[in-house]
Amino acid sequence: LIDSTHIENVEAVQRLQDSLHEALQDLEGAHNTEDPRRTGKLLMTLPLLRQTAAKAVQHFYSIKVQGKVPMHKLFLEMLEAKA
């Protein structure tokens, strides 16, 4: 589940992921009793969200390279960190 190669404590990250997953299940179970599979559906959207985020970074990076739109310095720093 961990997709970063710079994780020093893999077990701690796995425990965090497990506790977040349990919290999501508890929250969804309490608020959406009519759809017991909602938690799974939400988790299944994560890859698409990551793919969309990567495409957004590529799009903004191409805008930066073309120099068509002025961008705030903080935004540029965040973009460089992701690109």
Per-residue pLDDT band for 3 (boundaries 50, 70, 90) equals low
Are residue 67 and residue 34 in the same domain, yes or no?
no
Are residue 8 and residue 37 in the same domain, yes or no?
yes
Give the pTM: 0.51
Are residue 28 and residue 2 in the same domain, yes or no?
yes
Cα distances (Å, whole numbers) of residue 34 to 17, 27, 44 = 25, 13, 19
Mean per-residue pLDDT for 18-44? Answer: 86
CB 63 within 8 A of CB 69: yes
Are residue 24 and residue 51 in the same domain, yes or no?
no
Per-residue pLDDT band for 1 (boundaries 50, 70, 90) equals very low
Q: How many domains, in total, are found in the chain?
A: 2
Task: Give pLDDT, residue 4.
Answer: 64
Are residue 78 and residue 67 in the same domain, yes or no?
yes
Residues 35-46 as b/e (b if ≥16 CB within 10 A, e otherwise) read eeebbeeeeeee
Instruction: Kindly state the tokens that stand for 35.
Output: 């759809």
Are residue 24 and residue 54 in the same domain, yes or no?
no
User: Which residues constitute the domain of residue 29?
Assistant: 1-43
